[in-house]
Amino acid sequence: MSEIRQVFEENGYYHARAVFSPAEIAVMASEFDRIVDQLEMTGEDTEVKFSGPEMAKIHSADDTIVHTHNVHQFSGAWLRAIQQDRFLDITQEILGGNIMLHHSKLFRKPALHGLPFPMHQDWGYFPSIKDTMIAAMIHVADATDAMGCLRVYPGSHRLGRQADTSGQSEKTAGLLRDYPIENATIVEAQAGDVVFFHYFTLHGSMPNRSDRVRKTVIVQMHAGDDHVEPGVNHPNEQMALRGWNFHASRRSANRG
């Protein structure tokens, strides 16, 4: 077993340093800003709607965020980024040689009033049959604790599927009393770093109260022999980034 796989299996996350070079990040950051500008011109609603008792503890009424799915549909540079060899080499250590893109998403936490996220698991939003789904958080800019960087509970992926772990319900209160966001491991990162984590891993982030903007893109991927459960209403690219999609069919390839 590789060191990457061993760390990931033990902790439920792996922090990969300098996956993207400064030159690559400069292009990715410029395209990130261009995506945000285009979204703002359309006047679309780009907010993330989080609520509930845990959210009430850590956010203020002025907090906001810019969010959209599938950056590779906006930008050729971002399509190249999620196909970059080093990025996929690390992903392969975790998932194996068949890597499927489920979706990507952009988050821009503005300075001073960047929206926090309560501790939660991701599995409830897009559950997969074999539970191989992982996230790869690409840091387009530095992320510090003051900027509301990622927080995780190492080893919490071993909890498996916990009922209603969206972080937005009274039903979650018991679990989150045991895993308060204040005690979670702070994962500060530099531009070009990528943090990979399992979709069972409890994670969240505090608000951005710094004078700097936090910019991240999250890439959700799963193994090629896995697929999302039927009836899940969530963007699903079903795109083979490396290797083979064992569940592709004429019908799935012609969706939409």
Lowest mean pLDDT among 49-53, 143-147, 239-243: 49-53
Which carries the bigger pLDDT value, residue 50 or residue 77? 77
Which carries the bigger pLDDT value, residue 255 or residue 252? 252
Q: What is the per-residue burial (b if ≥16 Cβ within 10 Å, else e) of 109-143?
A: bbeebbbbbbbbbbbeebebeebbbbbbbbbbbbb
Of 89, 77, 108, which is closest to residue 19 (Cα–Cα)? 89
- Whole-number pLDDT of residue 173: 64
The mean pLDDT value of the chain amounts to 93
Which residue, chain included where needed, has tokens 């990507």?
Answer: 104
Q: Looking at the chain, how many residues does it have?
A: 256
Tell me yes or no: is domain 3-253 CATH 3.40.50.300. no
At residue 126, does pLDDT exceed 70? yes
- Whole-number pLDDT of residue 252: 85
- Whole-number pLDDT of residue 45: 83
Give the whole-angstrom CA distance, residue 32 versus residue 96.
29
Contact 69/219 with Cβ under 8 angstroms? Answer: no
In this structure, which amino acid lies at residue 187? V
Residue extents of the structural domains in the chain: 3-253
At residue 34, does pLDDT exceed 60? yes
Which carries the bigger pLDDT value, residue 78 or residue 164? 78
Phi (first) and psi of residue 77, to 5 degrees: -65, -40
Give whole-number Cα distances, 58 to 67, 216, 241, 242, in Å: 19, 20, 37, 39
At residue 17, does pLDDT exceed 60? yes
Predicted TM-score (pTM) of this structure: 0.95
Say what percent of the chain tops pLDDT 70: 95
Which carries the bigger pLDDT value, residue 154 or residue 54? 154
pLDDT in tens, 150-203: 999 999 999 999 987 766 656 666 777 889 999 999 999 999 999 999 999 999
